[in-house]
């Protein structure tokens, strides 16, 4: 399999204000070129594009190509499962929507602590294993949005899973909140290949500061800014494929141009990425280095570095605000919220960066705890 997957969550639209109004004809043109250039992996899911993404795949690809010409992956919407019967009903609905008799890859979608509990209680793991035994799924796994401790628990308890889908990009790689590297390393240790989502951080890493863009262009004037982000992820040895939510032909042309004959980043390019990260972080609102000295003695157990990391991402990249708030809400289930700070000051006394932590926690609370 070539290391570029077509993510079907940002397809071209007829009406930009209506996510369900997929432009099928433009999607057909994009799918044709993608397949023509030797790629096969289409990634869809039950909720994408207001529930229309799976149907769009059927119309643009399944009806127009032999089954062996493409690879289909979809996901069980765990949040919509209230009883065991829902698993069978939704799975069958997805097969019908996609127009296929089996899925090549099938995931439990966007697992976190709450959703893992639901899947344990309603035997979601057993369900996908049975569907694999029946030949309705070729490979089973899960996509993940939570901390590394939970991921470790899942991998220990469910060795039957074959793949894990993780959010990885060069800016989140060592983020204390998203823990991309830690989660990737766990999958590698357990022998589970990784599918990468959000390699361009929702498009944010295609719109980097001017100084970073100049850094990239000075090295290779012909390479797009986005190509650095996708190649960074694809260069990781345990990555099976990297998903890109392509919205137009220009993006597809660019991505396939350098992924047809993929070349991993060399040492000089890796150094440029490292420099780019430093530049991006210099413009960060709160200069936290995530040493965790501040949080170790916090009486409210507030995840201070993690919250600051998410706040910085939201400030730098406006289109990451909803994603940052999602991770904030997940962290707040097991830690004190920013608004619960007692202003005791122990954190500021321990901070090597001399950050005004109390005031910055107020900024975090104002940004992420609004309804």
Q: Which residues contact 278 (CB under 8 A, 6 or more apart)?
A: none
Question: Which of 55-69, 140-154, 196-210, 220-234 has the least mean pLDDT?
Answer: 196-210
pTM of this structure: 0.82
Q: Are 273 and 170 in contact (CB under 8 A)?
A: yes
Which residues pair with residue 239 across a beta bridge? 194
- Decide if 255 contacts 4 (C-beta within 8 A): yes
In 10 A of CB 153, how many CB atoms?
12
pLDDT digits (tens, 9 = 90+) for 3-56: 999 999 999 999 987 889 999 999 999 999 999 999 999 999 999 999 999 999
- Cα Rg for the chain, rounded, in angstroms? 21
Helix (H) or strand (E) holding 49: helix 48-51
What are the residue boundaries of the structural domains of the chain, listed by start?
A: 4-274, 293-368
Tokens representing 69 are 């010409």
**Total length of the chain:** 371
Contact 75, 106 (CB under 8 A): yes
Q: How confident is the model at residue 363 (pLDDT cuts 50, 70, 90)?
A: very high
Portion of the chain with pLDDT greater than 70, in percent: 99
Mean pLDDT of the chain: 94
pLDDT tens readout for residues 132-164:
999 999 999 999 988 899 999 999 999 999 999
Output DSSP code: residue 43: E
Which class is domain 4-274? alpha beta
Query: In this predicted structure, what is the pLDDT of residue 286?
Result: 85
Contact 103, 90 (CB under 8 A): no
Q: Look at residues 113, 145, 62 and name the one whose alpha carbon lies nearest to residue 324.
A: 145
Q: pLDDT per residue over 246-297, tens digit each?
A: 999 999 999 999 999 999 999 999 999 999 999 987 777 887 877 788 988 8
Return the bridge partners of 369, or none: none
DSSP string, 59-124: IIIITTS-GGG-EEEEEE-GGG--SHHHHHHHHHHHHHHHT-S-EEEEEEEEE-HHHHHHHHHTTH
Task: Please enumerate in sequence order all residues whose Cβ is within 8 A of that of 249, keeping only pairs 6 or more positions apart, or say none.
Answer: 26, 29, 30, 33
| Range 275-284, long-range pairs (CB < 8 A, 24+ positions) | 275/215, 276/170, 276/208, 276/212, 276/215, 276/216, 276/228, 277/170, 277/171, 279/209, 279/211, 279/212, 279/215, 280/171, 280/208, 280/209, 280/212, 280/316, 281/312, 283/209, 283/316, 284/312, 284/315, 284/316
| Closest CA relative to residue 148, chosen from 118, 189, 117 | 189
Q: What is the pLDDT of residues 73-92, one digit of tens each?
A: 999 999 999 999 999 999 99
The pLDDT of residue 146 is: 86
Environment class of residue 246 by beta-carbon count within 10 Å: exposed (0-12), middle (13-18) or buried (19+)? buried
Give, as one character, the DSSP assignment of residue 236. S
């Amino acid at each position: 399999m070539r290391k570029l997957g077509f993510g079907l969550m940002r397809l071209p639209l007829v009406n930009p204000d209506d996510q369900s109004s997929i432009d099928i004809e433009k999607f057909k043109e994009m799918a044709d070129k993608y397949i023509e250039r030797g790629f096969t992996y289409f990634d869809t899911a039950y909720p994408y594009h207001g529930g229309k993404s799976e149907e769009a795949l059927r119309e643009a690809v399944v009806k127009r190509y032999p089954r062996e010409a493409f690879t289909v992956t979809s996901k069980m919407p765990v949040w919509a499962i209230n009883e065991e019967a829902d698993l069978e009903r939704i799975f069958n609905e997805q097969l019908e929507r996609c127009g296929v008799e089996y899925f090549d890859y099938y995931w439990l979608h966007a697992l976190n602590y709450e959703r893992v509990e639901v899947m344990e209680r309603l035997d979601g793991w057993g369900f996908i294993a049975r569907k694999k035994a029946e030949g309705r799924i070729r490979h089973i796994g899960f996509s993940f949005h939570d901390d590394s401790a939970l991921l470790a628990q899942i991998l220990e308890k469910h060795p039957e899973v074959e793949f894990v889908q993780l959010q990885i990009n060069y800016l989140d790689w060592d983020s204390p909140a998203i823990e991309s590297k830690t989660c990737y390393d766990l999958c590698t240790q357990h022998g589970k290949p990784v599918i990468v989502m959000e390699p361009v951080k929702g498009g944010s890493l295609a719109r980097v500061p001017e100084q970073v863009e100049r850094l990239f262009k000075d090295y290779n004037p012909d390479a797009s800014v986005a190509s650095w982000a996708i190649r960074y992820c694809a260069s990781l040895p345990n990555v099976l494929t990297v998903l890109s939510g392509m919205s137009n032909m220009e993006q597809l042309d660019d991505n396939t141009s350098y992924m047809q004959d993929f070349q991993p980043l060399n040492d000089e390019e890796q150094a440029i990425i490292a420099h780019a990260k430093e530049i991006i972080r210099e413009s960060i609102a709160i200069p936290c280095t995530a040493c965790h000295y501040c949080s170790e003695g916090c009486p409210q157990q507030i995840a201070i570095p993690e919250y600051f990391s998410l706040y910085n991402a939201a400030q730098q990249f406006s289109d990451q605000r909803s994603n940052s708030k999602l991770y904030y809400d997940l962290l707040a289930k097991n830690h004190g919220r920013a608004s619960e700070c007692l202003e005791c000051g122990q954190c500021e006394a321990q901070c090597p960066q001399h950050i005004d932590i109390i005031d910055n926690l107020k900024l975090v609370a104002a940004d992420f705890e609004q309804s």
